[in-house]
């Protein structure tokens, strides 16, 4: 299958002290596939995602190439001007953030915020925007969408807001969704549901997904390819199943071993009990 995004030799430098934060990252994203990026805090996962979209702070300089293959053209995202980048960010590549509470404006109800995005990017009328919002919230398994849309962000739970954010991204019918730790702040029930929504989203729209997380369980559940990052470097990259079953780099082995220790005792405990 053809690639939709090719990142080659991406390097991010802090211009204030010439400190290189991300070193020569390269990866490819195929159509309708999911790339998982794992690594600990400070490993450069989020910076990499932001650099692709040109969302980094002004003092950070990105070098290398980020080739995005649109409908019938190919562009280098790092060379685009602000306006063309805005169009790509709004309609072709969407980003979903970890902290859903601060991603929404606390002073506006959900309806207005979702509607605004649709009207701005898809040039639809207010009524059409409203109908779209209801439709896509229902897709995200929110049954009382009319009620939810009237609410302000603080009246909704983290899981609910996360779903509103995914619904907004989904309605743009983007080619790529970049999700930065979208399930980290959620409890296990909401986490399972949000992960389920991502799977549905891929099945429904064929959107390619970059899923950033440090939860190996979730990444394993979703990803086809995997990029392991440490201190701004990509230490391992390849097929997710292969890496999980046969990690080459010492750091990947360490990550897998520590997580396995915890999940094993949990699985063992889940199986044992009186009368079973």
Tokens of 106: 């606390």
Which SS3 state, helix, strand or coil, does residue 147 take? helix
Among residues 241, 250, 255, 249, the alpha carbon closest in space to that of 36 is found at 241
Binding pattern to another protein, positions 86-105, x when CB under 8 A?
--------------------
- Work out whether 265 is an interface residue with another protein (CB under 8 A): yes
Instruction: Name the residue nearer to another protein (CB basis): 108 or 193.
Output: 193
- Work out whether 272 is an interface residue with another protein (CB under 8 A): yes
Tokens of 123: 């040039």
Q: Are 226 and 238 in contact (CB under 8 A)?
A: yes
- Work out whether 79 is an interface residue with another protein (CB under 8 A): no
Binding pattern to another protein, positions 210-249, x when CB under 8 A?
----xxxxx-xx----------------------xx----
Q: Are 252 and 235 in contact (CB under 8 A)?
A: yes
Size of the site for another protein (CB under 8 A): 40
- Work out whether 192 is an interface residue with another protein (CB under 8 A): yes
Angle at 246 between CA 241 and CA 252, to 5 degrees: 95
Q: Give backbone dihedrals phi and psi of 20, rounded to 5 degrees, phi first.
A: -80, 120
- Work out whether 143 is an interface residue with another protein (CB under 8 A): no
Segment lying near another protein (by CB under 8 A), choices 14-22, 102-110, 120-128, 252-260: 252-260
Query: Can you tell me the distance from the alpha carbon of 150 to that of 64, in angstroms, rounded to the nearest whole number?
Result: 44
Q: Are 122 and 172 in contact (CB under 8 A)?
A: yes
- Work out whether 154 is an interface residue with another protein (CB under 8 A): no
Query: Can you tell me the distance from the alpha carbon of 15 to that of 170, in angstroms, rounded to the nearest whole number?
Result: 35
Binding pattern to another protein, positions 196-215, x when CB under 8 A?
------------------xx
Query: Can you tell me the distance from the alpha carbon of 210 to that of 169, in angstroms, rounded to the nearest whole number?
Result: 13
Binding pattern to another protein, positions 18-47, x when CB under 8 A?
----------------------xx------
Q: Which residues of this protein are in contact with another protein, per CB under 8 A? A: 40-41, 157-158, 187-189, 191-193, 195, 214-218, 220-221, 244-245, 254-256, 258-263, 265-267, 269-276
């Amino acid at each position: 299958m053809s690639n939709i995004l090719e990142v080659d030799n991406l390097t991010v430098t802090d211009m204030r002290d010439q400190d290189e934060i991300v070193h020569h990252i390269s990866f490819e994203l195929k159509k309708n596939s999911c790339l998982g990026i794992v690594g600990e805090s400070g490993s450069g996962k989020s910076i990499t995602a932001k650099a692709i979209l040109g969302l980094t702070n002004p003092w950070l300089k990105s070098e290398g190439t980020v080739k995005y293959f649109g409908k019938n053209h190919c562009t280098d995202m790092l060379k685009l001007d602000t306006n063309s980048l805005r169009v790509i960010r709004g309609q072709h590549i969407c980003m979903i953030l970890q902290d859903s509470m601060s991603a929404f404006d606390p002073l506006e109800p959900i309806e207005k915020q979702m509607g605004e995005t649709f009207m701005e990017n898809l040039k639809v009328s207010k009524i059409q925007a409203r109908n779209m919002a209801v439709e896509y919230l229902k897709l995200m398994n929110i049954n009382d969408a009319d009620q939810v849309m009237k609410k302000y962000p603080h009246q909704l739970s983290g899981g609910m807001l996360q779903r509103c954010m995914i619904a907004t991204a989904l309605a743009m019918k983007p080619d790529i969704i970049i999700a930065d730790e979208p399930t980290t702040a959620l409890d296990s029930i909401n986490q399972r549901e949000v992960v389920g929504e991502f799977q549905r989203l891929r099945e429904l729209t064929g959107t390619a997904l970059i899923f950033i997380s440090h939860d190996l369980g979730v990444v394993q559940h979703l990803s086809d390819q995997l990029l392991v990052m440490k201190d701004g470097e990509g230490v391992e990259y390849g097929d997710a199943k292969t890496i999980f079953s046969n990690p080459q780099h010492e750091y990947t082995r360490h990550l897998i071993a520590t997580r396995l220790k915890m999940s094993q005792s949990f699985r063992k405990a889940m199986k044992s009990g009186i009368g079973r």
